[in-house]
């Protein structure tokens, strides 16, 4: 048996191929929920293409910015980007933005397998449409599931207004409580009409579901069918059966659903937006989308069962708790901890500026020089957090150490937190603050790359610093990221400098916009230091400058 697997692995790795996408990013009109608006499409189309490859393939994405009036970038959410940090995509972290008329080529290995997505990582731009699905297949695992068909779809909230205007209002001094803009509707696969799932009796389906939301979580429930969860984010897990799942911004679920063996009718499925994050819920907001699992038997389409399913309410007891999932690789609790980082969600109103959120000492503000380029150009100083500028909330991680991140969230709202470059273990989560007790930690903790920190609660993550790079850690509510809710992990900069260099194309899109492509900020603590050091990363400051920094993302 094991020799067959070795053989299969060999065959598959020999078949590793290069998958190339030419993406021309531009404005198109779309009406996913009946309201027509400009959205950001690719090659004249929206929804944008799905990226699909096998684990181990090389993916090349040639991205051309044809928007004319906005900068952009692409991030491939879920990819570990080992040795290919400059292709990770977040602006200010691993690259400068791609200005209108310019191009940037992303190249990386497709790993880990899983249901992923790709999206703009430039100034809260992706909710204007620049987000798509990305499926990385693990053929051996898929064969082991014995599924007859794979089906993939996204869920998301949707706004009728464009992000720049909404962002301006959200970040402005007139919004002291940081009230979030309410979405107008909820979409399944970029439509308010959910796709019909055509099932055959007794067949097995692998559903790959990704939330590409800007803000809201969504729950999914299938009438007359249970879900067997087999994967979350890029992590394959031991099967667990549930009636309902909740998927928050950036999260993915792989679930197996078995068609009923002798169905006498078709069934509904329900996708509901969670509105707990919203202060005001507009009366015309559409929070629910209903789809159909349709059975056709002997050429006869079975009628939909009539029931009050559409009004079913989800209780916590029927919704899966992701903490109970166990990864198939059986990775043991990482121990002992070499470095512990305490972060705290701090939403503060800065008079004259607006509401901002920090995780570390101050809200994240986009630096002039991408932090990765600073790490690659400052020699031994790269392991001094000060060279990155205080505005990026920098934490330097030493090579190979086990890093623990304790995040405390005193707010009345949960946050989906995402780390680039890693799937972390979630070793504890709860309400209040962590008591630091390590006696009852799971032996094999749950792992993923986006995890919810509860309202008035905490989580504790662990990962090994084995992926040299500069990795963003941030809230995946795109509004909160724009408000600064992020920190920067500079992982093993000494190793990183041996592995990577600043790409020519990356340097050129920095300099073409008047930014240096390398920089050292040691000793810079005030705004005037920044002004006098053109190479230096920026800081968040409480003058109008900070407001302007966070609000001037677009080329005028």
Q: Tell me if 156 contacts ligand NAG by CB under 6 A.
A: no
Which one of residues 83, 139, 164, 338 is an interface residue with ligand NAG (CB under 6 A)?
164
In the complex with ligand NAG, the residue whose CB is nearer, 140 or 151, is 151
Shortest Cβ 323–ligand NAG spacing (Å): 27
Which residues partner with 37 through β-bridges? 30
Q: Mark the segment that binds ligand NAG (CB under 6 A) among 14-22, 146-154, 374-382, 485-493.
A: 146-154
Say which residues have a Cβ less than 8 Å from residue 416's Cβ, sequence separation at least 6.
217, 248, 249, 250, 251, 450, 451, 452, 475, 476, 477
Q: Mark the segment that binds ligand NAG (CB under 6 A) among 292-300, 343-351, 489-497, 528-536.
A: 343-351
In the complex with ligand NAG, the residue whose CB is nearer, 70 or 157, is 70
In the complex with ligand NAG, the residue whose CB is nearer, 286 or 464, is 286
User: Which string of x and - marks every residue 178-217 that binds ligand NAG (by CB under 6 A)?
Assistant: -----------x-----x----------------------
Alpha helices of 350-432 — where are they, by DSSP H? Answer: 371-377
In the complex with ligand NAG, the residue whose CB is nearer, 216 or 446, is 216
Which residues partner with 447 through β-bridges? 425
Which one of residues 223, 346, 377, 393 is an interface residue with ligand NAG (CB under 6 A)?
346
Q: What angle do CA 275, 120, 350 make, to 5 degrees?
A: 60
Strands in 324-393 per DSSP E:
339-344, 346-350, 354-358
State the Cα–Cα distance between residues 64 and 26, nearest whole angstrom: 9
Neighbouring C-alpha atoms within 13 Å toward the C-beta of 277 = 24
Which one of residues 12, 16, 24, 27 is an interface residue with ligand NAG (CB under 6 A)?
27
Q: Within 255-314, which residues bind ligand NAG (CB under 6 A)?
A: 308, 310-311
Dig out the tokens for 117 from the structure.
Answer: 């997505």
How far from 111 is each of 54, 108, 135, 136, CA to CA, in Å? 8, 9, 10, 7
Q: Mark the segment that binds ligand NAG (CB under 6 A) among 12-20, 151-159, 437-445, 476-484.
A: 151-159
State the Cα–Cα distance between residues 87 and 328, nearest whole angstrom: 28
Q: Residues touching ligand NAG: how many (CB under 6 A)?
A: 20
In the complex with ligand NAG, the residue whose CB is nearer, 67 or 426, is 67
Dig out the tokens for 333 from the structure.
Answer: 């609790």
In the complex with ligand NAG, the residue whose CB is nearer, 468 or 553, is 553
Q: Tell me if 540 contacts ligand NAG by CB under 6 A.
A: no
Q: Tell me if 463 contacts ligand NAG by CB under 6 A.
A: no
In the complex with ligand NAG, the residue whose CB is nearer, 13 or 203, is 203
In the complex with ligand NAG, the residue whose CB is nearer, 151 or 285, is 151
310-316: list long-range contacts, CB under 8 Å, 24+ apart: 310/268, 310/270, 312/221, 312/270, 314/219, 314/221, 314/244, 314/246, 314/272
Dig out the tokens for 401 from the structure.
Answer: 């150490």
Q: What angle do CA 343, 88, 61 make, to 5 degrees?
A: 155
Is the distance from CB of 289 to CB of 32 less than 8 angstroms?
no
Strands in 15-168 per DSSP E:
18-30, 37-42, 51-54, 58-65, 75-77, 103-109, 114-119, 131-137, 149-158
**Length, in residues, of the chain:** 556
Which one of residues 12, 19, 151, 304 is an interface residue with ligand NAG (CB under 6 A)?
151
Shortest Cβ 109–ligand NAG spacing (Å): 23
In the complex with ligand NAG, the residue whose CB is nearer, 31 or 50, is 50
Which one of residues 348, 381, 383, 527 is an interface residue with ligand NAG (CB under 6 A)?
348
Q: Tell me if 69 contacts ligand NAG by CB under 6 A.
A: yes
Q: Tell me if 152 contacts ligand NAG by CB under 6 A.
A: yes
Q: Tell me if 153 contacts ligand NAG by CB under 6 A.
A: yes
State the Cα–Cα distance between residues 427 and 425, nearest whole angstrom: 6
Which one of residues 13, 18, 50, 532 is an interface residue with ligand NAG (CB under 6 A)?
50
Shortest Cβ 283–ligand NAG spacing (Å): 12
For 384, the 3-state DSSP assignment is coil
Q: Mark the segment that binds ligand NAG (CB under 6 A) among 147-155, 220-228, 398-406, 442-450.
A: 147-155
Is the distance from CB of 73 to CB of 35 less than 8 angstroms?
no
Which one of residues 103, 105, 150, 162 is an interface residue with ligand NAG (CB under 6 A)?
162
Give the residue carrying structure tokens 């959200």.
170
Q: Tell me if 64 contacts ligand NAG by CB under 6 A.
A: no
In the complex with ligand NAG, the residue whose CB is nearer, 205 or 373, is 205
- Nearest-CA neighbor of 491 among 441, 420, 442? 420
Q: Tell me if 253 contacts ligand NAG by CB under 6 A.
A: no
Shortest Cβ 151–ligand NAG spacing (Å): 5
Question: Interface with ligand NAG by CB under 6 A: which residues?
Answer: 27, 38, 47, 50, 69-70, 151-153, 162, 164, 189, 195, 308, 310-311, 344, 346, 348, 554
């Amino acid at each position: 048996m094991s020799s067959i697997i070795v053989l299969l692995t060999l065959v598959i790795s020999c078949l590793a191929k290069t998958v190339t996408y030419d993406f021309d990013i531009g404005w198109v009109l779309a009406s996913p929920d009946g309201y027509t608006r400009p959205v950001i499409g690719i090659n004249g189309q929206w929804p944008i293409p799905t990226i699909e490859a096998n684990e181990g393939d090389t993916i090349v994405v040639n991205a051309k910015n044809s928007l004319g009036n906005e900068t952009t970038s692409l991030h491939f959410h879920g990819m570990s980007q080992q040795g290919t940090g400059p292709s990770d995509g977040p602006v200010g972290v691993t690259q400068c933005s791609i200005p209108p008329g310019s191009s940037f080529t992303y190249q990386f290995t497709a790993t880990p397998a899983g249901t992923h997505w790709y999206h703009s990582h430039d100034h809260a731009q992706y909710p204007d449409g620049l987000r798509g699905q990305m499926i990385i297949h693990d053929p051996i695992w898929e064969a082991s599931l014995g599924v007859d068909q794979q089906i993939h779809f996204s869920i998301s909230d949707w706004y009728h207004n464009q992000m720049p205007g909404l962002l301006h209002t959200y970040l402005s001094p007139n919004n002291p409580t940081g009230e979030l803009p309410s979405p107008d509707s909820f979409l399944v696969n970029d439509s308010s009409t959910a796709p019909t799932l055509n099932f055959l009796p007794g067949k097995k389906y692998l559903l790959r579901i990704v939330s590409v939301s800007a803000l809201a979580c969504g729950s999914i429930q299938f009438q007359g069918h249970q879900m067997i969860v087999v994967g979350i984010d890029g992590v394959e897990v031991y099967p667990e059966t549930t009636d309902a799942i909740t998927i928050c911004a950036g999260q993915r679920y792989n679930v197996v659903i078995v068609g009923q063996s002798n169905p006498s009718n078709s069934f509904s499925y329900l996708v509901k937006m969670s509105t707990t994050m919203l202060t005001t819920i507009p009366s015309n907001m559409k929070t629910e989308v209903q789809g159909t699992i349709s059975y056709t038997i002997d050429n006869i389409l079975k009628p939909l069962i009539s029931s009050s399913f559409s009004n079913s309410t989800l209780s916590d007891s029927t919704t899966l708790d992701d903490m109970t999932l166990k990864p198939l690789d059986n990775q043991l609790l990482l121990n002992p901890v070499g470095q512990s980082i305490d972060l705290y969600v701090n939403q503060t109103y800065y008079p004259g500026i607006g509401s901002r959120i920090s995780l570390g000492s101050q809200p994240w503000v986009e630096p002039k020089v991408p932090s990765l380029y600073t790490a690659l150009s400052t020699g031994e100083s790269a392991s001094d957090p000060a060279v990155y500028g205080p505005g990026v909330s920098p934490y330097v991680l030493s090579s190979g150490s086990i890093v623990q991140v304790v995040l405390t969230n005193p707010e009345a709202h949960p946050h989906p937190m995402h780390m680039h470059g890693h799937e972390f273990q979630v070793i504890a989560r709860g309400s209040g603050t962590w008591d630091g007790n390590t006696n009852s930690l799971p032996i094999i903790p749950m792992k993923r790359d986006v995890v919810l920190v509860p309202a008035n609660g905490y989580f504790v993550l662990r990962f090994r610093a084995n992926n040299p790079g500069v990795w963003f850690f941030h809230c995946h509510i795109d509004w909160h990221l724009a408000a600064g809710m992020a920190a920067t992990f500079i992982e093993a900069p000494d190793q990183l400098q041996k592995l990577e260099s600043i790409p020519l194309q990356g340097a050129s899109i920095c300099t073409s916009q008047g930014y240096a492509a390398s920089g050292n900020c040691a000793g810079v603590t005030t705004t005037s230091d920044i002004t006098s050091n053109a190479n230096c990363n920026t800081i968040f400051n409480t003058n109008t400058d900070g407001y302007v920094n966070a609000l001037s993302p677009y080329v005028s």
